[in-house]
Amino acid sequence: MVRDITLTEALDLQQRQSYTLVDVRSPKEYQEATIPGSLNIPIFNDEERAEVGTLYKQVGKQAAKDRGLEIFSQKLPSFIEAFKQIDTPITIFCWRGGMRSKTAVTVLDLMGIHANRISGGIHTYRQHVVQCLEEPFIPQLIVLNGYTGSGKTRILHKLMEDGFPVIDLEGMAGHRGSIFGQIGVKPNNQKKFEILLAEKLVQYANERYVFIEGESKRIGHVHMPQAIYEKKEQSPQWIIQLPTEVRVEEIISEYEPWKRPAQFLEAFQHIQKRIHHPIAAQIKSDLETGQFAEAIEQLLIHYYDPQYEYSVARFAMSGEHVIQAKTVQEAYGECVNRYKELVK
């Protein structure tokens, strides 16, 4: 017998660590977006799902059902065995709480493995995410700004390690927010980005202040939800200011350009026309010969700094918002001190 529960009930059971959520959709669907913390035990792999879907469209529902049953029956032993490895009660979901999750729950029940099913599937979770991204759910933010290479990402990661509330937008997007930002990282799609963001907003619902980086509306392949963007723009802006040579070292440490020199050259081609020709030619030459420090310094001076000058100057008009430091570690310490003063 299929036992349906609501999304709220499922999340509550998961939070109390008394239930395991299992996504029975295909691996590709699972990778694109799922409920955080869920396992993936798919009824169909990506190719099988595509085959059944094509049959449904071109032949009809019954033909798709018959083929789906034929495929699934061949993998029943391994499917059942995967669920036997779970040592907690189970809640299953698919896209809309339809055929796949119903089939899974029914088969498991016949084998003596009892499981609930989320009514409405992950589609209801998507609605939950959209609600969480509205203004009433967004806490007060502290926005870290500064020129490229100011150590903002490293400071945020250190704050997270030390237990401070942080929303890492670049980490959620899988992109560092610059023309070179996709190098060495795996980008997320909009749905997965919003799911990760909503999860953090729920986690920090009772925090007085949450740290966030001063990103633009677009971060790589994803867009910041409008309510988050507006709240960020209206929140206190802390401007990290570091010496240029420290910023160069920070960028080299983060990107490790010697590991992917061809990708850096390819990315540079997208912006070289925006830089005065002799300087652009020198930057290209430096990248080709592995003179990364020289190339990055020229990129900062002639491309990135002019781009950010207006926005940084706008927030830095009041000196009380500026964190002038000689090192990233020093800037981190000042962020912690200011935060502690705020929450007294």
Q: Where are the domains of the chain?
A: 3-129, 134-342
- The answer to whether 94 is a known catalytic residue is yes
Q: Quick one: what percent of the chain has pLDDT higher than 90? A: 69
Per-residue pLDDT band at 313 (split at 50, 70, 90): low
Euclidean distance between CA atoms 73 and 282, whole angstroms: 63
CB-CB neighbours of 324 under 10 Å = 13
Give the pLDDT score at 60. Answer: 93
Task: Please determine, for residue 312, whether its predicted confidence score (pLDDT) is greater than 80.
Answer: no
Mean pLDDT value across the chain: 91
Give the pLDDT score at 321. Answer: 83
Per-residue pLDDT band at 309 (split at 50, 70, 90): confident
Strand partners, 5: 118
Across 89-101, average pLDDT: 91
Give the pLDDT score at 315. Answer: 64
Give the pLDDT score at 1. Answer: 65
Strand partners, 118: 5
Give the pLDDT score at 16. Answer: 81
Across 11-38, average pLDDT: 92
Give the pLDDT score at 310. Answer: 67
Give the pLDDT score at 311. Answer: 66
pLDDT in tens, 244-294: 999 999 999 988 989 988 998 988 988 888 898 899 999 999 999 999 999
Active-site residue (options: 7, 35, 52, 94)? 94
Q: How far apart are the first and last CA of the chain?
A: 54
Give the pLDDT score at 292. Answer: 94
Give the pLDDT score at 317. Answer: 56
Across 105-114, average pLDDT: 93
- Fold category of 3-129 in CATH: Oxidized Rhodanese; domain 1 (3.40.250)
Q: Which residue has the higher pLDDT, 56 or 344?
A: 56
CB-CB neighbours of 326 under 10 Å = 10
Same fold, 3-129 and 134-342: no
Task: Please determine, for residue 184, whether its predicted confidence score (pLDDT) is greater than 80.
Answer: no
Q: Answer whether 93's CB lies under 8 Å from 117's CB.
A: yes
Task: Please determine, for residue 185, whether its predicted confidence score (pLDDT) is greater than 90.
Answer: no
Per-residue pLDDT band at 201 (split at 50, 70, 90): very high
Look at domain 134-342 and name its CATH class.
Answer: alpha beta
pLDDT in tens, 216-228: 899 988 999 999 9
Euclidean distance between CA atoms 178 and 162, whole angstroms: 27
Q: Which residue has the higher pLDDT, 313 or 160?
A: 160
Give the pLDDT score at 205. Answer: 87
Which of 82-91, 204-213, 266-275 is predicted least confidently?
266-275
Task: Please determine, for residue 138, whether its predicted confidence score (pLDDT) is greater than 90.
Answer: no
Specify the amino acid at residue 340.
K
Which parts of the chain are beta strand (E)? Answer: 3-5, 20-23, 39-40, 90-93, 115-118, 141-146, 166-167, 210-213, 218-219, 222-223, 237-241, 322-324
Task: Please determine, for residue 135, whether its predicted confidence score (pLDDT) is greater than 90.
Answer: no
Q: Quick one: what percent of the chain has pLDDT higher than 70? A: 96
Task: Please determine, for residue 162, whether its predicted confidence score (pLDDT) is greater than 70.
Answer: yes
Paired sense of beta strands 237-241 and 218-219, if any: unpaired
Q: Which residue has the higher pLDDT, 304 or 308?
A: 304
Nearest to 143 by CA among 299, 329, 326, 311: 311
Per-residue pLDDT band at 314 (split at 50, 70, 90): low
